[in-house]
Each structure stands twice: as structure tokens, then as C-alpha cells.
Amino acid sequence: MRRLDRYIVSTVASAIILVMIVVLSLDLVFGFVAEIEDIKGNYQVVDALIYIFMTLPRRIYDYLPLGAFMGCLIGLGALAKNSELTVIRAAGVSIFRIAWAAMKPTFIVVLMSLALGEFVAPLTEKIAQSQKALKRGAESGMVVGSGLWHKEGDSFVHINAVEPNGALYGVSINYYDDSQILQRSVFAKRAIYERQRWQLIDVEESRFAGEGVSIVKERVASWSTALTPELLNILVVKPDNLSISGLHKYVLYLSDLGLSSGIYELAFWKKTLQPFSTVALVFVAVSFVFGPMRSVAIGSRVFAGLLVGLSFKYVQDLLGPSSLVFGFEPVFASLTPSLICVVIGLYLSRRAG
């Protein structure tokens, strides 16, 4: 029995690795082509290649659920196509035992996904984004289409780049009155965090009074804000690419300020429930192989797998924004596609049994 388990595990694991190699290769090529459009200033082709390489952990994390699903579907499907599953079942091995063996590589994928998503991908993504912004001239002014925005009280802050050591580049702070009229605008080339306070360096402040504008330049100025280097390291990365702990901290921070945290709550639950989503998808793959796709060609199996994977993603992408618009809990938006997969898997499994 152990030999059969090892054989099923190795077959499914090999298929998962093959799927990941193919999907990642295509994604890296398309990512590099898209990055070519951002070449500007000191940001050249070599820098684009480095950026793509630095974002590889995030890309692996994004595709691991699809890789586990497609790998299980193709691996078990190959065994079914060659009548090996029929022989294994004739030897007295139950469907549950085969499914459990096929699930074992999935648990490794889940552990790898948790490690990448919590410790590796957020760090490399942050470094990649900050280095790209610096190469594109983060100190020269507001970089359109990049950087991060943050609202605090009556001010709106835009930061072009955040280095891992906490240094900021291209800090723009706009202050408004109660009537939403701009009162003053501050731009600093750099900012460093010293003694629990931010120090703005090379500051230019524009003050708007009546119909006149006065400009004041300072070498160093203090900036009072609740933002810390730790929070900024969270902000510089898109919500979907943050760690679970980082998302939790920022949700609490926004709640303390009385600001909406819906986008970050949605990303938090999506990442927290990803292990369950991965197992649910693999469960559907197993039920497919023992059910309606027991003897179809591998091309049809891949096509069906893509349809299921895309449907899962589209339902998830549709329910996520809907939870923000209609006000229902983000956890339900993240959990519903997985529950649908479980229901489909149970139905197909009962029919196969």
C-alpha cells in the first residue's frame, strides 16, 4: 500500500511541478513585455529583468492553487486514462485512500504557499517596487501611476518610494481646510525616521492665501504623523501581496482612524482562506477524475480544468467588490467560491461512488 501511495503522490507532484513551470514561464514572459512599457530614465531593460525576478515569489504564490488543482487533475487523469486507477481499485484500494494520497502534495503546496505569502513574497515585492520607483526618479516629484496615497485627518499624503530601511523618497503632503480647499502643499525629496518622528529633507512648501502663493524652502522640517516605518512598509505593497499579519495590523490602524478598511479586510480573508480554497479545488479535481472525466483525453481535461479555475477566480473577483458595494462581510465573499467547490465535489463523489 505504501508503494501505491508513493506512486500516486509522485505522479501528482510531478504534474503540479510541470504545470507551475509552464504557467510561470508564460507569466514571466508576459510580465516582462508589460514591464518594457515602463522603461524610463534610469529604469532600463536590465532593471526590468531584476524587477521580474524579484516578483517571482509573489507570482509563485498566486499560481500555487491553480498549479495544485491542474496538477491533481492531470496526474490522476493520466492514471485513469492508462487504466491504472482501475487496477488499483480492483486491488481493493478505496476511492478515499486514492484521494488521500493525491491530497498529500496539496498539503505541501499549502505549507509552501503560507510561507511564501507571509515571509518571502511581501518582502521581495516591497524591494522590487521601491527599487523600480527610485530608478524612475522618485526624488524628482510625484511619480504618476506609482507610489502610495494615504489620508490622515485633513491631509493627503503621496509617497513615491519606501525603502526597506524606512527611508522615504518623493513625499508630497497636501493640507485642506473644512471646505476641502487646499491650504498648503509640502514636497520633500526624502524623509527619515528619527526619535519617533519623521524628518523631511530638502523641503519646498507652497502656501495658498487668498489669490497669492508663497513658497518657503527648508533644508530640514519635522512631520508629525501616526505613520511609522512599519506601517509604510505595509502600505507600499498592494493589499493582495501583503502578509496576513501585515493586513491585520493595517486593518486595526484604519479602524482606529475611523477610515474604511474594506479592501484590506477582503485581502486578509482571501489570503487567510487560501489554504481551504486550494484544498477545495483539489477536491473538485479528484471528484472529476473519478466522475465525468474518468476516460477523456488530456486536452479535454486541461480545458475543463481551465474552465473551473477561471470560473473560481471570476466568482471570487465578482463577490469581493460586491461585498464592498453591498456591505456584506468580506469573509463570505472569500469563502463562498470554496464552499461551491466542496458542494460540487461531494455531488460528483457520491455519483462516482
> So what's the pLDDT on residue 138?
66
Residue 228 has pLDDT above 70, yes or no: yes
Amino acid letter for position 245? S
Is residue 128 within 8 A of residue 51, CB to CB? The reply is yes
Q: What percent of the chain stands above pLDDT 70?
A: 93
CB 87 within 8 A of CB 252: no
Q: What is the pLDDT of residue 293?
A: 58
In the sheet where 212-223 sits, what is the strand order? 148-152, 155-162, 168-176, 182-194, 197-209, 212-223
pLDDT band at 40 (very low <50, low <70, confident <90, very high): confident
- Whether residue 245 is predicted with pLDDT greater than 90 in this model: the reply is yes
Q: Which long-range contacts (CB under 8 A, 24 or more apart) does 326-333 make?
A: 330/262, 330/265, 330/266, 330/268, 330/269, 330/270, 331/269, 331/273, 333/266, 333/269
List, for residues 5-20, the tens digit of each pLDDT value: 999 999 999 999 999 9
Q: Where are the beta strands (DSSP E) in the chain?
A: 148-152, 155-162, 168-176, 182-194, 197-209, 212-223
In this prediction, residue 139 has a pLDDT band, given cuts at 50, 70 and 90, of low
Size of the chain, expressed as the number of residues it contains: 353
Between CA 204 and CA 274 the distance in angstroms is 46
Q: What is the mean pLDDT of the chain?
A: 88
Q: 117 and 153 in contact (C-beta within 8 Å)?
A: no
Confidence of residue 142 (pLDDT cuts 50, 70, 90): low
19 by DSSP, 3-state: which?
A: helix
pLDDT of residue 149: 87
Which of 273 and 153 is assigned the larger pLDDT? 273
Give the residue with greater pLDDT, 145 vs 19. 19
Per-residue pLDDT band for 133 (boundaries 50, 70, 90) equals: confident
CA trace torsion 326, 330, 336, 337 (10° rounding): 100
pLDDT of residue 29: 96
Q: Beta 197-209 vs 212-223: how paired, if at all? A: antiparallel
Rounded to the nearest angstrom, the gap between the alpha carbon of residue 166 and the centroid of all alpha carbons in its chain is 22
Least confident residue range of 61-70, 142-151, 181-190: 142-151
Considering the chain, what percentage of its residues have pLDDT values greater than 90? 50
Residue 18's closest CA among 100, 75, 76, 80? 75
Q: Note the pLDDT of residue 259.
A: 81
Query: Which stretch of 160-169, 241-250, 334-343 has the lowest confidence by average pLDDT?
Result: 160-169
List CB contacts of 328: < 8 A, sequence separation 6 or more.
Answer: 322
In this predicted structure, what is the pLDDT of residue 144? 54
**What pLDDT was estimated at residue 1?**
67
pLDDT of residue 11: 95
Neighbour count for residue 302 (Cβ, 10 Å): 15
Of 53-57, 162-166, 329-333, the one with minimum mean pLDDT is: 162-166
Q: Is the pLDDT of residue 87 over 70?
A: yes
Could you read off the pLDDT of 114-130 as tens digits, one per residue?
999 999 999 999 899 88
What is the 8-class DSSP label of residue 211? T
Rounded Cα distance between 171 and 141, Å, is 8
Cα separation, 261 vs 236, whole angstroms: 16
For residue 297, pLDDT beyond 80: no
Mean predicted confidence (pLDDT) in 189-200: 91
- Range picked from 79-83, 214-218, 307-311 for highest mean pLDDT: 214-218
Which of these, 231, 151, 221, 148, lies nearest to 191 by C-alpha position? 221
Q: pLDDT-derived band of residue 254, with 50, 70 and 90 as boundaries?
A: confident
pLDDT grade, residue 65 (50/70/90)? Answer: very high
- HSE-CB at 264 with a 13 A cutoff on CA atoms is 20
- The answer to whether residue 137 scores a pLDDT higher than 80 is no
